[in-house]
Each structure stands twice: as C-alpha cells, then as structure tokens.
Chain A
C-alpha cells in the first residue's frame, strides 16, 4: 500500500516538478514578471500558439527565469523537434543545472543518445546538492536510467554497480521501484551472472507477478545455466502474461521484450 501511495504521489507531482513560487522574486523584477507570465502560459494547452507566445514574452521580460525555457521546451521534445527543444532546455540547464540536468538526460535517453545521457547524469550526481530525481512519469529513479544507459553502451558491470547502490538506498527506505529488481536482473543476464540474475528476478516476482519481461529474462538466466527445462517453463509463463490485457508494462525499460523474442527462444517462431 505504501508503495502505491508513493507511486501516486510521484506521478501526480512529476508533471510540475520544481514548480516555482513567484513570490520569491522581488516585485517588478524581470523574473517575477516572467514567472507570472509562465503560469499564465501553462493555462493554455501545451504546445499551443498562445502558450508559446506567452513563454516568449516571459523570456523577454526575465531571461534568467529558467522554468520558462523548460516549460517551453517540453512540446518540442514530445513532437520530434529535438533540436529546437534542446536549444531551449540548454538555457534552463545553464541557469539551474541542479533542476534541469536530469530532465535533459531523460530526453537524451528517449532519443537514444546514451553517451550524452550518462554525461548529464554523472554531472548531476556529482553536484554537492544533488537530490533524488525520477523520470517524468515517476516510475523510475533516474539512477536506474543511468545504470541502464551504461548497459546500453556495453558497460554492464558499471550499470550493475549503480543499480545496486540505488536499490540499496531505497530498500533502506522500504521502497523499491516497481521494476527496479527487474532492471538489475536484466543487467545480470547481459553480464552472464545468471545465478545472481535468478536471485533478483525472483525477488522481482514478489513485487509484481504480471510483467512478461521478467519471466523472459528468468528463462534466459536458466538457459545460461544450461537448465533448459526450467528455461522453457519461464518462457511459456512469459507468453501467457503477454496474452493478458492488463499485464504490467515497464515504461523506460531500455531492454524491451516482444512476444516474438520469447517465441524465438521456444523455437516456435
């Protein structure tokens, strides 16, 4: 229950992370005006002409008010205008790295530039006042993405180290992300540490039983240990879950599993 509540809090708060308080800026200052105009802008639909023009006005009034650049950048990223989005978000990052580095890293991840994603997150976590950051959807600690990004460039051991540290922190707070053990298990499989993979993937099943991907990776781990009978049991379970409408889908998984992957393992493809 505690986990669900935390997840709901994360999801509902994530869209407006770091929402500024306009009253902290002196009255009549450029930042105060920019802040007020930006709040006016987000009353309009995201990406609409009205909102974009208000952000432009805000930026002209208070060019040091980072939130306006960030808010203005979002629809560009979501709609495939990566370059335009980055020109705006870069301004926000330059003004307030602690607030926006992690968000830029998220978009680097989304657009599959793992080197730049790692660069931003390493820079972020090296900041003395770095705090816990999540994906915009709230489902993953950004350190999980950092570990997965290392795995994407083939640095599995480094990824494992980061994921373990992240999970350890959360375990001590009695909260682990819904797919965190899964992510660690995937990295163990990729690093051919099959016994460790089975250990954490089975732990994952105590958190969630309806994620098809977990059974697939469990199958791969058993296969890695030449336990083909058990591997096939897991692959079949995975296929069963794929058929369920309400199965859990692992957002920002990094390593996505398709039914065709499982069928391929079962040799029925």
Chain B
C-alpha cells in the first residue's frame, strides 16, 4: 500500500525539472523561509515574522564585502579532499532586527551554474564559516528596524576560495 502511494506521489509530483510548467506551491513571497525544526535553531527568533524584508541591499556587513571575505578566508581550512570541487555556494539566511543571523539555506552550483554536490565535510565547513560571520547590520527601512533576507556567494576553484 505504501509502495503504491509512493509510486502515485512520484508520478504526480516527480516531474519538477521544469518549474515553470508545473503547478507550484509558493510561499507568500519567493524566498520566505519558515522555521524548519529539522535544521533551524529553535532559539533563533525573528522580531516580526509577518514582515521580513526581501531587500538585500539594506543589510550590510561591517567593513563591507571585503571584511566579510577576509573573515571567510581566515576561517577556511583547506583539506585535500576538497580539491574535487569547483563552483559556487549560495547561502541564504535571515538577519533579524537584533543583527542575529539564522535560517540558513544553501544552493550548490558548478562552474556552468548547474546544480551539483560537494564533499559532505566541505558543505558542513562552508556552512559553519558562513554561520560564524557575526557582523551583520540589520535592515533599517523607512526609519524602522526590520528583519530581512540576505544571501552571500562563496566561489571556489579546486577546493580553494576565490576572491570577489
């Protein structure tokens, strides 16, 4: 019975490679990231979950991208097993009105921007050094403090970080 259900599910929803041509479920806004107990810290909270901005330019890192990259470089620990990977990590997250970041999500693309995978310990390490970035300044929009979404990209060639 379960197998039958599974087969039906795959037949109904398994053709997701062309998102534009299938009926999709949308969040209220593209990129809304609700709490997921399987990967999010339950202690991380938003100031107003009903109004999280999608205006990435309003969230800045102290010292700019340069300072952020310097931190990533300083914390990155190369391992020979990483050398198989070339591509881009795109890490999305929220910066709440208290300058705390959370709800990290990641996309891994190859050099042609096709979906790919990376060695598991590299993925864990990239996520970890991204989470260590702690100088985010929350969005102030129309004079008010806001939670907001932001993303960063980390580019690599043969397991080495590439500067912007």
Interface string of A54-90 (1 = CB under 8 A from B): 0010011001000001001001101111111011100
Q: Does B155 contact A (CB under 8 A)?
A: yes
Known contacts A79-B54, A79-B92; A56 and B24 CB within 8 A of each other: yes
**Pair A76/B30 contact, Cβ less than 8 Å:** yes
Instruction: Provide the residues of chain A in CB contact with B114, threshold 8 Å.
Output: 83
Asked if B20 is an interface residue, CB under 8 A from chain A, the answer is yes
Contacts of A84 in B (CB 8 A): 19
Query: CA A71 – CA B20 in complex, angstroms?
Result: 12
Tally of A-B residue pairs with Cβ under 8 A? Answer: 96
In this complex, the member of B29, B151, B155 whose beta carbon has the largest number of chain A beta carbons within 10 angstroms is: B29
Chain A residues with CB below 8 A from B91, complex form: 80
Q: Establish whether residues B90 and A78, one from each chain, have CB atoms under 8 Å apart when the complex forms.
A: no
- The answer on a CB contact under 8 Å between A80 and B20 is no
Find out whether the CB atom of A80 lies under 8 angstroms from the CB atom of B115. no
| Interface assignment of B131: CB less than 8 Å from any CB of chain A | no
- The stretch from B62-70, B77-85, B119-127 touching chain A is B62-70
In the complex the two chains form, what is the Cα distance from A79 to B33 in whole Å?
11
Residues of A within 8 A of B56 (CB): 78-80
Contact of B153 among A75, A111, A256 (CB under 8 A): A111
Give Cα A15 to B24, complex, Å.
Answer: 26
Chain B hits for A72, CB < 8 A: 20
Tell me the bound Cα distance from A21 to B109 in angstroms.
Answer: 36
Q: Convert A85-106 into 0s and 1s, putting 1 for each residue whose CB lies closer than 8 angstroms to a CB of B.
A: 0111001000000000000000
Contacts of B54 in A (CB 8 A): 47, 75, 78-79
Q: Are A48 and B107 in contact (CB under 8 A)?
A: no
Chain A residues bordering chain B, tally (CB within 8 A): 35
Interface of A is mostly: helix
Select B66's contact among A45, A75, A113, A256, beta carbons within 8 Å. Answer: A256
Contact (Cβ within 8 A) A59 B20: yes
Contact A82 B24 (CB under 8 A): no
Does A112 sit at the interface, judged by CB under 8 A? yes
Which residues of B are found within 8 Å of A59, using beta-carbon distances?
20-21
Counting from the closest, the 6 A-B pairs by CB-CB distance are A80-B151, A79-B31, A47-B30, A49-B26, A80-B92, A75-B30
23 pairs, CB–CB < 8 Å, chain A vs chain B: A47-B54, A48-B29, A49-B28, A49-B29, A52-B24, A63-B21, A72-B20, A75-B29, A75-B31, A78-B54, A79-B31, A80-B90, A81-B107, A82-B109, A83-B114, A87-B20, A112-B153, A112-B155, A113-B88, A115-B111, A256-B64, A256-B66, A256-B164
B-side residues, CB < 8 A to A, are: 18-21, 23-24, 26-31, 54, 56, 63-67, 88, 90-92, 107, 109, 111-115, 149, 151, 153, 155, 162, 164
